[in-house]
Amino acid sequence: MNMNLPSAITKWNPFKELEDLQNRTRSLFLKSGMNGSLLDDTLVEADWVPEVDVAEDDNEFTITADLPDVPKEQVKVFMEDGSLVIQGERHREKEEKKKRYHRIERSYGKYVRSFQLPEEVDPAKIDAKYHDGVLTLHLPKAPGKKQARQEITVS
């Protein structure tokens, strides 16, 4: 009796299921008008949300956004009402009639992220670079505009 299982059976990956749940939840928040992120302050109609890292040192804030397969021409960065906005669109590859897709997980369509800037950032000196699908924004802090540390009493 041959007990070998067919090679088409795949292992169950609980972490993949958690990732799928996170993506579905994010999509639900977007469709319901909630942005699902503490960093974003506004929400514009979007089909997907790029992942970002936000870092800070003594001289600047840095925002790094992953925008895979997005041409530079589809990356827009601008200031609006005190917020820094990143938006554009990623187009789906042309569907080939001879190809059968078994799974499509990548998101396509319009994207947007917005960030309320701290008062210490000098908007006139923001520098944006785009290379290999990664947008890097350098937001220098203005000298003399550093916010003083404020202690908050916990009751």
CA distances (Å), origin 59, targets 30, 115, 127, 144, 146: 33, 18, 13, 12, 10
CB-side neighbour CA atoms (13 Å) of 119 = 5
pLDDT digits (tens, 9 = 90+) for 71-129: 999 899 998 888 899 999 888 777 667 877 777 777 788 888 999 888 888 888 899 99
Rounded (5°) CA angle 105-109-111: 100
Q: Are 137 and 84 in contact (CB under 8 A)?
A: yes
pLDDT digits (tens, 9 = 90+) for 2-43: 555 555 566 677 777 777 777 677 666 655 544 444 344 444
Q: How many CB atoms lie within 10 A of CB 40?
A: 19
CA distances (Å), origin 74, targets 29, 110, 115, 118: 24, 10, 19, 27
For residue 6 the two structure tokens come to 């067919």
154: helix, strand or coil: coil
pTM above 0.75, yes or no: no
What domains are there in the chain, each with its CATH number? 38-92+107-140 (2.60.40.790)
